[in-house]
Structure 1
Amino acid sequence: MTKTQEIRTFNFNKRDGTDVDHPLTVSGHASVFNSPTDIAGAFTEQIAPGAFSKTLTENDDIRCLFNHNWDNILGRTKSGTLTLEEDEQGLAFTVDLPDTTAGRDLVVSMERGDIDKCSFGFIPTADKWDYSDPDHPVRTIEEVELFEVSIVTIPAYDDTDAQLNRSKDGQYKLIELVEQRKQIISKIKGELSHE
């Protein structure tokens, strides 16, 4: 199966950075562990604790972007302007915002309350499926390859504390695969009930 990069969306917080020695920072959780989320009515998904530990150890060059746009880099682990760690809640991040047009515009929008969400882009490298209820399978993502976290203007879901957002192509392919598996399980159950 081809691996597709996916995106998730969550809330974040900001600090005002009035101390000139410390730039304006944004912090929060780009992912929340064990938070079941409905994905387009096709299945439930959750991120397992520890899903980011390998990628955080192996990848020392993860970026923080604005709206998943690689032209608008807000911070980078390699430069020390972005820090990422797993805590008991999920994937925690802090980014020191740059004194750039994108950074300044973001500050204004956040102060107005227009922007208050964040997201992350990744490829799942290990997941587990539970089809005990074939109409509502559960996908647990156990390990990811993380590329970026983003501060975003329009998340795909309103309740971003618990909802997840993914790229449309990856979402449609995954939903199609889940629907195929549901049909196979239903067919097997039908055959077994006639025995």
Structure 2
Amino acid sequence: MECRALQIELRAAGSNPRKLEGYAATFGVETRIGDFVETIRVGAFAASLASGRDIIALSDHDATRVLGRTKSGTLRLSEDTRGLQFSLDLPDTTAARDLLALAERGDLGGASFGFKAQDEKWSGNRRELRAIELHEISIVQSWPAYSNTKVEARGRLSAEAPHAGLSRTLNKWRP
């Protein structure tokens, strides 16, 4: 299984205090993976999403830190023209509380996804992912690979959260 991490944008607002929303992958964005450049074609996740298979949301690809899953309805996934969109209802666990606190501060590194390529096209050192078997998405704390993705922390506006409603774009670190 391969994993890809993505840059995120954070916006804290709304009425659900324990929800993350955004894009786990974006289409047509070039990213360098080792010695090759990769892009994802529009519609690459369609067959995987239509299959009805259970897809999980994790913290940092750690299977012991489950945040939600499609089977239970706590993770909702869909494709649009921009990419793979997600909505995640966070559980009341230590891992989820920690992630939410990092999201509210603007400290998260990005979103990521674990997959197997079902259809890909290689041209020299360029790879286009045409069909992806999606296994999981993850909220990661550092070093995204793909840019132009988005995660929003949804929470109540309150005196305890004076910056709720503000938008921050996190800077991508590259070695």
The TM tier, using the shorter chain, reads: 0.7 to 0.9
User: 4+ residue runs of structure 1 moved beyond 3 angstroms?
Assistant: 12-17
Choose from 142, 145, 155 the match for 2:143: 155
Which residue of structure 2 aligns with residue 53 of structure 1?
Answer: 46
**Long gaps (5+) in structure 1:** 132-136, 164-195
Cα distance in 1 for residues equivalent to 2:17 and 2:73: 13
> Within 1, Cα distance between the matches of 2:143 and 2:52?
26
Deviation at residue 84 of structure 1 after TM alignment: 0.4
Separation (CA, whole Å) in 2 of partners of 1:12 and 1:98: 22
Aligned to 1:142: 130
Q: Relative to structure 1, is the Cα distance of residues 28 and 39 closer, same or farther in structure 2, using a 3 angstrom cutoff?
A: same
- Aligned-residue offset at 1:23: 4.7
* Deviation (angstroms), 1:15: 4.4
Asked whether the equivalents of residues 10 and 106 of structure 2 are also in contact (C-alpha less than 8 Å), the reply is no
Closer, same or farther in 2 for the Cα pair 1:120/1:68, shift >3 Å? Answer: same
Aligned-pair CA distance for 1:101: 1.1
Contact 1:47 1:141 in 2 (8 A): yes
The CA deviation at 1:14 is 5.2
TM-score by length of 2: 0.77
* Match in the other structure for 1:32: 26
> Which SS does the other structure have where 1:78 is aligned?
coil
Question: Which of 59, 67, 73 is 1:80 aligned to?
Answer: 73
Alpha-carbon distance, 1:60 to partner: 3.1
Q: Relative to total residues, which structure has the larger strand share, 1 or 2?
A: 2
What is the DSSP-based 3-state SS (H/G/I as helix, E as strand, rest coil) of the residue aligned with 2:24?
strand
> C-alpha displacement at 1:39, in angstroms?
2.1
Counterparts of 2:59 and 2:83, CA distance in 1: 21
C-alpha distance in structure 2 between counterparts of 1:156 and 1:93, whole Å: 17
Counterpart of 1:38, as a letter, is R
Which 5+ residue runs of structure 2 have no aligned equivalent?
A: 150-175
**Structure 2 residue aligned with 1:187:** none
| Matched ranges for 1:43-192 at <5 A | 43-131=36-124, 137-155=125-143, 157=145, 160-161=146-147
- Across the two proteins, how many residue pairs are aligned to each other? 148
Deviation at 1:16, TM superposition (A): 4.5
Question: Structure 1 16/73 Cα, relative in aligned 2: closer, same or farther at 3 Å?
Answer: farther
Instruction: Write the distance in 2 (CA, Å) between the matches of 1:46 and 1:129.
Output: 11
Note if contact 1:23-1:96 (Cα within 8 Å) is conserved in structure 2. no
Report the identity percentage. 42
The question of whether the paired residues in 2 share the 8 Å contact of 1:61 and 1:76 is answered with yes
Deviation at 1:144, TM superposition (A): 1.0
- Between stretches 110-119 and 139-148, larger displacement belongs to 110-119
- Where 1:79 maps in the other structure, the secondary structure is coil
Per chain length, whose mean CA-contact separation is higher, i.e. which structure has more relative contact order (CA < 8 Å, sep 6+)?
A: 2
Tell me the residue number matched to 2:160: none
Q: Equivalent residue for 1:185?
A: none
Match of 2:3 among 3, 7, 21: 7
